[in-house]
Amino acid sequence: MQDLWRLSATDLAGLIKSRKVSAKEAATAALARLDAVNSKINAVVDHRPAEVLAEAAAIDAKIARGEDPGVLAGVPVTVKVNIDQQGFATTNGLKIQKDAIAKDNSPVIDNMRKSGAVILGRTNCPAFSYRWFTTNLVHGDTKNPRDPSITPGGSSGGAGAAVAAGIGHIAHGTDIAGSIRYPAYANGVHGLRPTVGRIAAFNAALPERTIGPQISAVSGPLARTIADLRIALEAMSGFDVRDPWWVPAPLQGPPREKRAALCLNPDGLDPVPEVKAAVADAGKRLARAGWTVEEVADTPPLREAADWQTKLWLGDSYEAQLAAAEREGDPGALACLNGNRSKVFPFDAAAFSKALTRRATLAREWLLFLEKYAVVVMPVSGELPFPDHLDRKDDASFTRVWKAQLPQIAIPFMGLPGLTVSTGLVGRVPVGVQVVSGRYREDLCLAAGEAIEAGGTPSAAIDPAG
């Protein structure tokens, strides 16, 4: 049973529920895998083995009593270091928050534990979770297990690297501009950004977030299979009174015709040929699975939505964010803020009002588009995963990175769900596609994602590359 860490979360939970494997055996295997490979990639930056084993023992005791352990029965999962876990620092990759010890759990941790998950460890992110690369001054540099010369993604780079390398079966991440979808893409796994309001969020250890993040940032899962994303979403989506934005939406919506829009070049993104080929291939996989696939010349606006999202994310309280970044002294965080200054500052009351007004208009356009199509399939990024730390090379490289990420930045402005499906490799560099659907229709994203996944090579945990 030493290779339990290789199993999907769905299969492992089934074995534990049927008592063919104990939660303690699963946790022991997960801890051994962490010990074996984490030093090569620095994905997990904080974990306490004795607590992991105690959590697993509690799951085994629950099963022995004949109680339902939950959908994630004994499955080891990782959580990002920017959410509250009781007794741990909510660092968000910051020296200045290394003593922000959480007194309570965030809702997503409580909900996963109620569903039987065992929290294996906490994963790395860039300072302030600002970048599509993962390094900081408190936890260090995370490496992509497929190729250390390319980014592991960000901001949930530790999450993506961990699940790709078999450290945990599901990883928690957060996403305000691609921070789940891009690490999934870069590490060759799958990642779901749910609809705003689907998964309850709150960090008591930190100040209340400004309105932009409140209406666009979400928690969500990364995993090696779409089926595992499905059970992770169920586990994470429970009610928690601490989040006033939480919505009691059903996980399964009304039936829809299997009709997909395929857009190779949304809003002038001009993707590289390998990215276009991946999107076209995903369309063929959907068609073979019985979907009606219609190639469209364009989608509703993405570029304007991305500009407004950047303003809401970085422009609101820009001076306070810059002062904090200067106190921290993190080069990547400062590059992000200084590189975007002319686009987001000053952000006055009139601009703020216009942003929220345009949000309603653009969201409506997208929702009307998604009445015609159950899903739209498009690039995650205009490029293959970047060379690591490309955004800090020079001004042209910084601009190149932000330009390529247009499809990721835009979708949160409308509050829509987005799914990254890994579709294959170009050499040893991963590639994939983004699937977007209407609000609270993650089920449609996942249905299309399963069809795309089934048409390719099954995902599996990998040993970190040298």
Helix (H, G, I), strand (E, B) or coil at 131: coil
Can you tell me the distance from the alpha carbon of 387 to that of 335, in angstroms, rounded to the nearest whole number?
17
Q: Which of 261, 45, 287, 77 is nearest to 163 (CA)?
A: 77
> What angle (nearest 5°) sits at the alpha carbon of residue 327, between those of residues 104 and 210?
50
Considering the candidates 115, 129, 179, 437, report the single residue annotated as catalytic. Answer: 179
Beta-carbon contacts of 260 under 8 Å, excluding residues fewer than 6 positions away, are 283, 286, 291, 292, 293, 294, 373, 374, 375, 376, 377, 448
Residue type, 183: P
| 17 tagged catalytic | no
Considering the candidates 17, 24, 80, 143, report the single residue annotated as catalytic. Answer: 80
CB burial readout 86-125, b (16+ within 10 A) else e: eebbbbbbbbbbeebebebbbbbbbbbbebbbbbbbbbbb
| 22 tagged catalytic | no
Q: State the DSSP H helix or E strand holding residue 396, giving kind and residue range, or none if neither.
A: helix 395-404
> What angle (nearest 5°) sits at the alpha carbon of residue 278, between those of residues 273 and 279?
100
| 155 tagged catalytic | yes
CA 110: distance to chain centroid? 19
Phi, psi of 195 (to 5 degrees): -60, 145
Can you tell me the distance from the alpha carbon of 236 to that of 113, in angstroms, rounded to the nearest whole number?
9
Considering the candidates 106, 115, 129, 155, report the single residue annotated as catalytic. Answer: 155
Residues with a catalytic annotation lie at 80, 155, 179
